[in-house]
Chains A and B, each alone.
Chain A
Amino acid sequence: MKVLVAVKRVLDYNVKARVKADKSGIELANVKMSMNPFDEIAIEEALRIKEAGKAEEVIAVSIGPSQSQETIRTALAMGADRGILIETDDEVQPLAVAKLLKHVAEKEEPGLLIVGKQAIDDDANQTGQMYSAITGWPQATFASKVEFEGDGLKVTREVDSGLESIQVAMPAVITTDLRLNEPRYAKLPNIMKAKKKPLEVIALADTGVSIETGLKTVEVNEPEEREAGIIVKSVDELVDRLRNEAKVI
């Protein structure tokens, strides 16, 4: 079985997003970019499945500008076997990503697609569910545990009031939540080795998939700043102010 994993190049987790002066978006020139943290968890899970003997090959797919090759190389350094980049400089929304992943899956025929539950840039939380809807593969979202059971998978999911488990047939799509695993760091020899692993670059136009969308961003603004309040001297003063000034307790 092949496992397909989607990885996205995003503004690094530790870098504060700054809105561009013309309000068209976020400043991404000359800032640190990294793999979306949930996608690292997705790669890690795929590698563990392979290491457990349940899969033969892990393929990392990214959709985005040429620099996304670096993100794929990170996945390869972690242990993925090969990479595919669908190259485009245009904005690609979740539905288009789902369609492009479907395009790749039709050729590669994986048994499993693993994606992060959300990307920390657009915070959409849509791609996995959309992929499931357009392919008919069952979805196991917000996964915190994945076990092979019978011909399918038993997946434990994070829901608002705790955990639930579902059984899904394969092929299936999994979206990762934080507690699924702790991703490994790429070791230096593996980073060197990753440079030699195959990475196929496909022009968006060659996929025949349209990424047109009816949703456009009108403008992007800074959030309203919350003003810092006061420092109180004691617990008693805190309780007094919460009671008599803010009147919230």
Chain B
Amino acid sequence: MSTLILAEHEDGALRPATLNVVSAASQIGGEVTLLVAGQGVEAVASAAASVAGVAKVLHADDAAYANEIAENLADLVLSQADSHEHILFAATASGKNVMPRVAAMLDVAGISDVTEVRSSDTFVRPIYAGNAIATVQSSDAKKVVSVRTTSFEAAAESGGSAAVESIATTAASDKVSFIGQELSQSDRPELTSAKIVVSGGRGMQDGSNFKMLDDIAEKLNAAVGASRAAVDAGFVPNEYQVGQTGKVVAPDLYIAVGISGAIQHLAGMKDSKVIAAINKDEEAPIFQVADYGLVEDLFDALPELNKALDG
């Protein structure tokens, strides 16, 4: 039995999400192979080779894989599928883009957003925004799975000594091409891997008020997130969104500010170790999941909090 993982990387380094997927693969059992595809990614391949628990690294270097075009990545994964029973992806925007293609081309079901490995064919995944937890079993010859990264510990980045093998590349699709990207400029840690997340909701009233959260996040070395309501209202861009239709986070501390706590938002953060909530409405559902609740107007509480953190 063996597992193939499509590694994710940016700026010449593995994305942390891939380390979580390696842990999920280790729980399935069998040999773990990481597939590193990109352009000029030798350094990523060698970093992948030292991840604990990785037995083999496949390295595909070609311009076709430079911008995570799903068509091209899926074709490459498929070219390596024969020798693996499990094919795993991180449930990131990129992984979600590729995983279903691979499943469909193998004519098997895709298993999205797995939070627990029960056995090599049985997995647990949330449905209905996490209001129900399904246990699913696959009898397909190959299991094609995306892994919810916050549900698995990260594998150690060192300790492994896998062999790196260069593999033949596949042709690039002529029906899709990359134009460009507009990445959000932030000095803050990445939302899904930050130890502390400070999130704002509709109660923030305006995008400019997120500056108050930025200042607090700066002091805590935290990432800044938002509820869908805040994104819909245009306060912050979509990549801030935590919830069923945004990102799933599980930091050590989640501070929800001016967030009422709709089920769709809770779906994205209720696995946080400690939740603190600041809301002036004592009836807000967020207080039902918060470890520490403060009923106060956020426009009073945030400046105080900012000051208290200096102490």
Contacts and interface: CB of A to CB of B under 8 A. Distances in A.
B140 A246 contact: no
Interface in B255-296: 263-264, 270, 273-276, 278, 282, 287-296
A165 interface: yes
Interface stretch (B37-45, B89-97, B152-160): B89-97
B131 A215 contact: no
Contacts of A16: 131, 263
A202 interface: no
Contacts of A204: none
A230 to B, nearest CB: 6
A125 B245 CA distance: 10
SS class, residues of chain A in contact with chain B: mixed
Interface in A66-97: 93-95
A133 B101 contact: yes
Given A121-B128, A139-B70, A166 B274 contact: no
A222 B132 contact: yes
A179 interface: yes
A159 B293 contact: no
Nearest to A163: B182
A164 B100 CA distance: 20
A29 interface: no
A57 B133 CA distance: 40
Contacts of A123: 112-113, 126-129, 244
Contacts of A121: 127-128
Interface of A: 11, 13, 16-17, 19, 26, 38, 93-95, 98, 117-118, 120-134, 136-142, 144, 154, 158-169, 172, 177-179, 213-223, 226, 228-232, 234-236, 238-239, 241-242, 246, 248-249
A19 B130 CA distance: 11
Given A95-B103, A95-B107, A218-B122, A158 B238 contact: yes
Given A130-B104, A179-B231, A160 B71 contact: no
Contacts of B295: 231
- Residue from the set A123, A124, A160, A213 with the largest chain B CB neighbour count within 10 Å: A160
Contacts, number: 262
Interface of B is mostly: mixed
A244 to B, nearest CB: 12
A235 B111 CA distance: 43
Interface stretch (B21-29, B49-57, B170-178, B207-215): B170-178
Contacts of A19: 132
A162 B131 CA distance: 28
12 contacts: A17-B127, A121-B127, A130-B101, A130-B103, A130-B104, A161-B184, A215-B136, A216-B136, A217-B135, A220-B135, A239-B305, A239-B308
B128 A126 contact: no
Contacts of B305: 235, 238-239
Given A166-B176, A215-B138, A223 B131 contact: yes
Nearest to A235: B304
